[in-house]
Amino acid sequence: MIELVPAIDIIDGKCVRLSQGDFTRKTIYNEDPVEVALEFEANGIRRLHIVDLDGAKAHHIVNWRLLEMICAKTALRIDFGGGLKSTADLEIAFSSGAQMVTGGSIAVKEPEEFAGWIEKYGAEKIILGADVKDDKIAVGGWMEDTDIKWDSFIQEYISKGIEKVISTDISKDGMLEGPSLDLYQQMLKKFPTLYLIASGGISSVDDIAALESIGVPSVIFGKAIYEGKIKLRDLLPFLD
């Protein structure tokens, strides 16, 4: 059964969604992310993906108090990302209740630091963010392109112990046009033991079923829920 992971993206303490990572294309969906998390939990969700978009811009963790509040009021298993650039940031995230953290930009810009996190905290707590634009890795809240191919990037960190990867096809994110099935099929074929967490483009439960059918073990989605294209009750068949 595919793991369902709703996303809460935070700017100015509010639950928002961007389109293709563009901060100028922002929609506010709820003033209270804690309320959103509680609703997810009440409908059988067990996992949550929180992105500190303020942190991604500031290059350090910002919304840790909201993380702390969500962890205090729910039993959701949370992975947290956005602006994690130092071990001090990680310690704040973990002490605020996150079970896992996601690092993308730092894995590109400070590979030794990121590899040190894997060694220190263990692969079960560190998720690699591999966000893809035209087959290359993009970083800095998707505002910076690189020349790094996604396959070599993932391969390098698998060799350093990484087991879980969140991958977003940036062209799909927030567009509600369906996920990048071809990309994920390529990833799973090349790295069959990878715990791949697909993200971006989910517009319906059919999209979730399509990902499950090709063997994707986990999926992150957000805008489809907030726009009402997926009702929480529609997710019941995927929840054991």
Active site residues per annotation: 9, 131
Strands (E), 141-185: 144-149, 164-168
Q: Nearest 5°: CA angle at 2, between 155 and 73?
A: 100
> Is the four-CA dihedral 13, 106, 45, 197 of positive or negative sign?
positive
Task: Give the whole-angstrom CA distance, residue 36 versus residue 42.
Answer: 10
46-79 as b/e, with b when 16 or more CB fall inside 10 Å? ebbbbbbbbbbbebbbbbbebbbbbbeebebbbb
The contacts of residue 159 (CB under 8 Å, 6+ apart) are: none
